Structure 1
């Protein structure tokens, strides 16, 4: 989704200014491409933490870590508009370039996780399903 968002932001910068309808459609697509990974990441991290053996039975620690994850996402949601407001006097193209660079940065940060998941998946293709479950969700 972040890779699709990268191209969608370029397209929105040029096509979204043509009419109100095209701007609304582009905003809906951009919103889906941004919110999808955010929801998946926060849900997957919370689920992985819930099964981690160091947090098992300690609901306060789990709640604290989940709150830190959600708070970090909220911090990013607050800083984005602040940066857009600071950059917009230099031109809206620069705001789009800021959004695109934030998307590229997110892709870079997620690339290690994606690489690990691909390695686990490739190992599961050659094994039976019970060992794949053990690889992806250790007990």
Structure 2
């Protein structure tokens, strides 16, 4: 049984033409079926008010699609979670996802929560791999005589 945890994050970048700053506020959380990536994307021209603000979206990533979730420490206590999936389709529609990898920036205040979430996800994935190995090593029915 997985412990249900969540980690908030804020990601900043630019549009392709560098006309506006893109800010993504979101939450990465564990659920019994997998991970949920909930976020709202907004564009800010000249740093004032959001000129474009998308509705809140939630993308569910089932356990079978998750390859790994690791926490990487960065400069001055900041860090990021790196989510790798087994297919490109699992991260379809998530801003800043590159191929089958998503890097989620984590603030210093949330680093312990992020490390705990990564550890719990890796534990679930390890348990699933062990269960799959056990299921594959069980002797099947008696061979035909």
TM-score by length of 2: 0.28
Which of structures 1 and 2 has the larger relative contact order (alpha carbons within 8 angstroms, sep 6+)? 1
TM-score by length of 1: 0.29
